[in-house]
Structure 1
């Protein structure tokens, strides 16, 4: 990345910060939630090699010439295949050296030998881990203290065959999640300090598949894969539709939009936004011939008609070129991009400052690698395996 590009991106993000919509008082400054995306995000980069795609703390193994199980995971729109970065690109320093205040190393295996997978931050020093009964099927939750390394079991999760816990969020001293069974979504909670899971009762069945979950004050806010945003008291009660959001999905509460993260026909992700509390709206500028456009609250990324990656504000201003094949758009400012061969790997880009860091990933002897993709929305947690440890990044600590 050139110095000129760094300066341009810094000015662009400064303008975006000034224009950024503010959440109303009484809502958390940051909703600590990552919904498990139970669907593949097709990427040309993944089709070229054996890759493990990591979105937040979730990994999907993809082999050359294959995609994930499309019967269980509906395919997303394929992106333009990646082109090879030039060997002249300078490799930045490792992420733990560039942003030491935001990075931790966590053992992959818990005491006793089971693998604990990072899900969300419970607070500024505690990570929520889940263990699996089988592939992606959680059977227990644990709290990991990032300062002391101590592990505490929170609860067991028991679900019927083919039913998975997802969408973990925290608030009011409890952890919340959802399960989907026979086309209906149910909600559960447990005290952060531990205990038995309890169902969050609803006045009617929630028909549809939950795709995002947040804790907003004294209510659960959730959206459905089929479209629609709703709220529900934390202790259970009436399910209330959000006015004007019958087609929408949660991006970063209170901002909801349409289309959502899943765009099977090449639509622009979150082209239209609605503030669920104030009624404010925003429509992103998308020009003819552009593709793979994904928008956050203040910014959009995508490819021009000629395939050039770009980054700009939602109103179409301040457009700048991006490094080749960037992935993700977390918190409107973080993306990843490939590093040059032969060792490969990825860099984490902070578009607000122009700084970048090497994630420390390398191809193994069989040509396999890991691709890390920060998620749309808040995307506070990025976690991926490096050897026998997870590298855990709290993007909210990067200034």
Structure 2
């Protein structure tokens, strides 16, 4: 990756959060606090294969393909063959449903789908059963002009989201998973500032602000309460909070300081002098050394391994990156850094030397989805063992 491209990436990341609450779906930045199990994984780190990472985002983006490739190499098996219990393909067009995007998992077998109005404001949300293929409308999404809905979360039998107006005032909404008419959650008035993450945590809703600070309020309505010691923090994966934010202006480490909102436990990830683009999850970090090589290691600095020379530093569910193997004909694979397993994502080079790509993100809540021809591929990273 050239220095110019790295600088471009830094600028993109630095500005990406500015418009996040207006994004119709989230996709980076949306966390669903799912009641299903969160396994404790051993960090059996493996040396990464010599591969080239694809720039992108959760969802789909395009990037250039530089020059001719050498002889083609065989790609690994498809993601659905490598991880059959964690991958689904659903039609991109469903009966009676306009264009949609998958947003979050409601539970182990149900995905929340989002549709939009012509002005890109949210229109409605639906439940899609991955087992039966049935779609059910949950609710229409109310919003005023220049007010945008985003950051959906599921828990306690409800779907929760926020709307942010042009004055950066945030309101919160709720509807039963079974369906019904959405109701604004009474928090004593709009919250000043833009919420960036939402989590349903038991009988409360937790959220963090773009500028930092984590708060909670009762799911059924009530006073907004700040989380002690989290004035600068952001929700990473509840109950874990972290600071600085995912997007830093001067390449400072992202999510270096960690705080458990329930126990008060604190820790700080090891960052060595001269390292840049360091981004940390709950258990691991990725980043760039002073010699511009990339690394993947535990937060305490141990078990460090090399990453591909041209990696874009995304990290899904603390262990997944998307990579472009050498000599593969525009193909992209999902690489599990904990086990070394790889699965072909099915993406290929398109016209004019460009291809689409995905990047599992630290804040994607375990859901990776992308369009592939006439289908959506949906991957649940939490199901991969």
Correspondent of 1:347 among 322, 333, 343: 333
| 1:159 match: secondary structure | coil
Determine the structure 2 residue equivalent to 1:237: 222
Alignment partner, residue 360 of structure 1: 346
- Residue in 2 that maps onto 1:332: 318
In 1, Cα distance between the equivalents of 2:68 and 2:249? 26
State how 1:4-43 maps to structure 2 within 5 Å: 29-30=37-38
1:50 alignment counterpart: none
Counterpart position of 1:249: 234
Which residue in 2 is equivalent to 1:312?
297
Deviation at 1:161, TM superposition (A): 2.7
1:137 correspondence with 2:133: no
In structure 2, what is the equivalent of residue 98 of structure 1? 82
Asked whether 1:224 is paired with 2:209, we answer yes
1:194-236 deviation digits (Å, cap 9, x = unpaired): 1111001103431111111111111001000011000010001
> 1:37 maps to what in 2?
none
Answer whether contact 1:87 1:340 (CA < 8 A) is retained: no
| Aligned position for 2:365 | 379
SS of 2:103 mapped into structure 1: strand
The alpha-carbon deviation at position 89 of structure 1 amounts to 6.1
* Matched position secondary structure for 2:338: coil
TM-score (norm. length: structure 1):
0.79
Matched, 1:166 2:144: no
Q: Deviations over 1:68-109 (max 9, x none)?
A: xxxxxxxxxxxxx99999767652111111111111111111
Question: SS of 2:314's equivalent?
Answer: strand
2 CA distance for matches of 1:349 and 1:387? Answer: 22
**1:292-339 Cα deviation digits (max 9, x unpaired):** 110011110011112111101111111100134154212211111223
Task: Determine the structure 1 residue equivalent to 2:274.
Answer: 289
Q: Which runs of 5+ in 2 are unaligned?
A: 1-33, 40-52
Q: Which residue of 2 aligns with 1:206?
A: 191
SS in 1 for 2:143: coil
* TM-aligned CA distance change 1:63 to 1:90, over 3 Å: closer
Aligned-partner Cα distance in 2 for 1:335–1:86: 23
Deviates more, 1:132-141 or 1:387-396: 132-141
Q: Secondary structure at the match of 2:353?
A: coil
CA distance in 2, matches of 1:263, 1:167: 21
Is residue 62–residue 357 contact of structure 2 (8 Å, CA) maintained in 1?
A: no
Q: Do the aligned residues in 2 keep the contact of 1:326 with 1:336 (CA within 8 Å)?
A: no
Task: Answer whether contact 1:30 1:378 (CA < 8 A) is retained.
Answer: no
Kept in 1, the 8 Å contact 2:149–2:163? The answer is yes
Alpha-carbon distance in structure 1 between the residues aligned to 2:363 and 2:67: 27
Q: 1:112-131 to 2 correspondence within 5 Å?
A: 112=96, 114-131=98-115
String of CA shifts for 1:150-203, please: whole Å, max 9, x gaps.
Answer: 111111113223322111111111100011111111100111111111001103
Cα distance change, pair 341–379 in 1 and its aligned pair in 2 (3 A): farther
Counterpart CA distance in 1 for 2:109 and 2:100 is 17
CA contact (8 A) 2:73 2:329 kept: no
2-structure distance, mates of 1:343, 1:135: 38
2:355 corresponds to which of 369, 375, 381:
369
Secondary structure of the corresponding residue to residue 335 of structure 2: strand
Return the offset for 1:148: 0.9
Distance in 1, matches of 2:98 and 2:35, equals: 36
Which segments of 5 or more consecutive residues in structure 1 lack a partner in the other structure? 1-25, 32-43, 47-52, 65-80
Q: Where does residue 132 of structure 2 map in the other structure?
A: 148
| 3-state DSSP of counterpart to 1:96 | helix
The answer as to 2:106 corresponding to 1:157 is no
Which moves more between the two structures, 179-188 or 367-376? 367-376
Alignment TM-score, normalising by the size of structure 2: 0.81
